[in-house]
Amino acid sequence: MYRKTITELAAGLRAGEFSSEELTRAFLDRIKTHDQQLNSVVTVTEERALEAARAADRRLKNGDGATLTGIPFLHKDIFCTEGVRTSCGSRMLDNFEAPYDATVSAKLKQTGAVMLGKTNMDEFAMGSSNETSFYGPVRNPWDLDRVPGGSSGGSAAAVAARLAPVATGTDTGGSIRQPAALCGITGIKPTYGRVSRFGMIAFASSLDQGGAFAASAADAAVLLEAMSGFDERDSTSIDRPVDRYTERLGEGLSGLTIGLPKEYFGEGLTAEVSAAIEAAIGEFRKLGAKVREISLPNSHLAVPAYYVVAPAECSSNLSRMDGVRFGYRCDNPGDLEDLYVRSRGEGFGAEVKRRIMVGTYALSAGYYDAYYLKAQQVRRLIRDDFVTALKEVDMIMGPTSPSTAFRLGEKADDPVTMYLSDIYTIAVNLAGLPGMSVPAGFVDGLPVGLQIIGNYFEEGRMLNTAHQYQLATDWHTRLPAGFA
């Protein structure tokens, strides 16, 4: 059953070929069997999952259910889930049980989807390799000595190994798209404001956005449609109707104009990945799309701008983690200052501390104008480049990552090199645009991802574009050895 699509699983549930409880047990068994190798799931909610599956079976028997009713999924451990540990991959929140559901959690619960558990992640979503988690690194199912990408590496690795049909993720600078590329699955980050951030523990508030992982664009469309929508509890949520993404999956690509940024095919991109992306673009030409070169002249400024804006916002957001109200608290503090210093010093990992320090410096008196304000000005230039380009083309495509998955520990001692892993994805978050990654081939047995960037609120068009490509190719159907 783990090879079936959501559509096939939903049809099987409605036809009575199997129950949601049977389906849920099958995926729970796969987690028990395979996740010792991957470390992709930090909390398994078996009893709750089986209870939810039985409730879904009752709904289905009464003819009352949505496409996701009875379908198992995994939840990134950054979304609050009432009564379940929500750790953000950090010692700071290792003992935190959320007293409420995030909006995304509530929406999925309402559909009758069955949460199997919570996935591992880089601590507070800060990382590009899923090596900064308090619970240890996640491993890539295509090669257990390599990273799955981050920060949503647990969700990506789990879906690639088919430990769940779909999973949620969040993307601040590429944290859905990059792990989707390195693990050979489909991942989509929608337009900023499309998915509610209420109950999604904040890293960088102006950049964070929830999204979906699946084997295919068609399955991602089902999950994203259920997650999306206006939420009055989120001041950044957009009050705009949600498209029926699944209903747009039959549109042809004739007349579609694709832009290839010349800046994405230069120094830093490996020749093998470049060749795979060129081959993927060739498939779109066969499908009737037109291709032209474009320029995003300020794209080289995306990484430095991001690593001022994101740490500044994270230093503000994480100030609430102080050992007083919730989360980790040091033993036997001598006084209030000792409580703060030791709780934060012991509760946060090295990468989180690094970003807090950078962000605090950038926001400090005398440096705010020179760093944070300047970064925001550069951010507007980057956004304007995309707006100009998307007046000339319908879609922008290029590599998701400059290389395939690197080895565990390979970049751990070189933060700048690690940050450059997201060089093609960061600008999309700075601009607030939707972006996704789809499997586009292999290099030495490791997956390559093609990035698709659309205009604001054109997730439906992007998903259909990816779907048409996947109808013509089979990269998304391949499973890593040992998990097939």
Which residue among the candidates 76, 107, 118, 411 is catalytic per the annotation? 76
Q: Is residue 32 flagged as an active site residue?
A: no
10: left (phi over 0), alpha (psi -120 to 50) or beta: alpha
Residues sharing a CB contact under 8 Å with residue 404, sequence separation 6 or more, in sequence order: 182, 270, 272, 273, 443, 444, 446, 447, 448
Which residue among the candidates 20, 151, 196, 437 is catalytic per the annotation? 151
Longest dimension (CA), the chain: 70
The 3 state secondary structure assigned to the chain is CCCCCHHHHHHHHHHCCCCHHHHHHHHHHHHHHHHHHHCCEEEECHHHHHHHHHHHHHHHHCCCCCCCCCCEEEEECCECECCEECCCCCHHHCCCECCCCCHHHHHHHHHCCEEEEEECCCHHHCCCCCCCCCCCCCCECCECCECCCCCCHHHHHHHHCCCCCEEEEEECCCCCHHHHHHHCCEEEECCCCCECCCCECCCCCCCCEEEEEECCHHHHHHHHHHHECCCCCCCCCCCCCCCCHHHHCCCCCCCCEEEEEHHHHCCCCCHHHHHHHHHHHHHHHHCCCEEEEECCCCHHHHHHHHHHHHHHHHHHHHHHCCCCCCCCCCCCCCCHHHHHHHHHHHHCCHHHHHHHHHHHHHHCCCCHHHHHHHHHHHHHHHHHHHHHHHHHCCEEEEECCCCCCCECCCCCCCHHHHHHHHCCCHHHHHHCCCEEEEEEEEECCEEEEEEEECCCCCHHHHHHHHHHHHHHCCHHHCCCCCCC
Q: Pairing state of beta strands 257-261 and 290-294?
A: parallel
Q: Is residue 151 flagged as an active site residue?
A: yes
Q: Is residue 76 flagged as an active site residue?
A: yes
Residue whose tokens read 């980057």? 382
Which residue among the candidates 133, 175, 237, 315 is catalytic per the annotation? 175
198: tokens are 């209420």
Residues catalogued as catalytic:
76, 151, 175
